[in-house]
Amino acid sequence: MIIRSKAPFRVSFGGGGTDMTPYCIEYGGCVINTTIDRHVYITLKPRQDKEIHIFSINLNKEFQFKIGDRNYSTEFDLFKGVINVLEIKEGFDIIVYSELPTGSGMGGSSSLSVALIGAFNKYLNLELSKHDIAQKAYNIERIELRQKGGYQDQFAAAYGGFNFMEFIKDTKVIPINASKDMINELQFRLILCYVGGSHFSSDIQEEVLQGYDIEKKSYIEAMQDLKDVAHSMRNIVESNNLNRLNEFGELLHKGWLAKKSLSNKISNKNIENFYLTSRKLGVLGGKLLGAGGGGHLLLFSEPNQKPKVIQELEKIGGKIVNFHFNPKGLEVWEIK
Q: Shortest CA distance to 296 belongs to which of 317, 271, 277, 330?
A: 271
Q: What distance in Å separates the CA atoms of residue 167 and residue 173, rounded to the nearest whole number?
A: 9
Same domain, 124 and 195: no
CA 60 to centroid of chain Cα atoms: 24
Say which CATH number the domain at 31 has: 3.30.230.10
pLDDT tens-digit map of 210-225: 666 666 788 889 999 9
Q: Percentage helix, strand, coil, to 5, in the chain?
A: 45, 25, 30
Contacts of 199 (CB under 8 A, 6+ apart): 103, 105, 290, 291, 292, 293, 294, 295
53 strand-pairing partners: 64, 93
Give the separation between CA 230 and CA 250, rounded to whole angstroms: 12
One domain, residues 188 and 304 = yes
198 backbone dihedrals φ, ψ, rounded to 5°: -60, 155
Q: What is the CATH number of the domain that holds 273?
A: 3.30.70.890
Cβ density class 142-159: b for 16+ within 10 Å, e for less: bebbebbbbbbbbbbbbb
Going along the chain, which residue ranges are E strands? 2-14, 29-46, 51-56, 61-66, 92-98, 162-167, 171-175, 190-196, 283-288, 295-301, 319-320, 331-335
- What are residue 249's DSSP bridge partners? none
CB atoms within 10 A of CB 82: 26
CA–CA distance, 103 with 202 (Å, rounded to integer): 11
102 and 211 both lie in a single domain: no
Please identify every residue annotated as catalytic: 153
Same-domain status, 163 and 16: yes
Same domain, 168 and 24: yes
What are the beta bridge partners of residue 215? none
d(CA 4, CA 95): 9
Nearest to 324 by CA among 6, 16, 39: 39
Same domain, 186 and 173: no
Q: What is the pLDDT of residue 200?
A: 53
pLDDT at residue 295, as a whole number: 87
For residues 193 and 291, state if they share a domain. yes
Q: What is the pLDDT of residue 212?
A: 64
237 with 267, same domain: the answer is yes
Residue 171 and residue 203 in one domain: no
Which pLDDT score, from 0 to 100, does residue 197 have? 72
CA 59-206-259 angle, to 5 degrees, is 95
User: Using an 8 Å Cβ cutoff, are 5 and 130 in contact?
Assistant: no
pTM (2 d.p.)? 0.93
- Residue 260 has a CB neighbour count (10 Å cut-off) of 18
Do residues 191 and 298 touch, judged by C-beta distance below 8 A?
A: yes
State the total domains in the chain. 2
Distance of alpha carbon 13 from alpha carbon 234, whole angstroms: 10
Question: Own/partner pairs for 244-249, CB < 8 Å, 24+ apart?
Answer: 245/182, 245/185, 245/186, 245/189, 246/284, 248/13, 248/186, 248/300, 249/189, 249/283, 249/284, 249/285, 249/286, 249/300, 249/301
316 and 277, same structural domain? yes
Quick one: 208 and 159 in the same domain?
no
Count of helix runs (H) and strand runs (E) in the chain: 11, 12
For the chain, the first-to-last Cα distance in angstroms comes to 5
Q: Write the pLDDT tens digit of every residue in 96-116.
A: 999 998 777 888 999 999 999
Please indicate, yes or no, whether residues 24 and 168 belong to a single structural domain of this protein. yes
> Along the 336 residues of the chain, how does pLDDT read in single tens digits?
899 999 999 999 999 999 999 899 999 999 999 999 999 999 999 999 999 999 999 999 999 999 999 999 887 899 999 999 999 999 999 999 999 987 778 889 999 999 999 999 999 999 999 999 999 999 999 999 999 889 999 999 999 999 999 998 899 999 999 999 999 999 999 999 999 876 555 566 666 666 666 667 888 899 999 999 999 999 999 999 999 999 999 999 999 999 888 877 888 899 999 999 999 999 999 999 976 778 899 999 999 999 999 999 999 999 999 999 999 999 999 998
Burial letters 296-321, b for 16+ CB under 10 A, else e? bbbbbbeeebbeebbebbeeeebeeb
Residue 269, domain extent: 180-320
Task: Enter the DSSP assignment of 61.
Answer: E
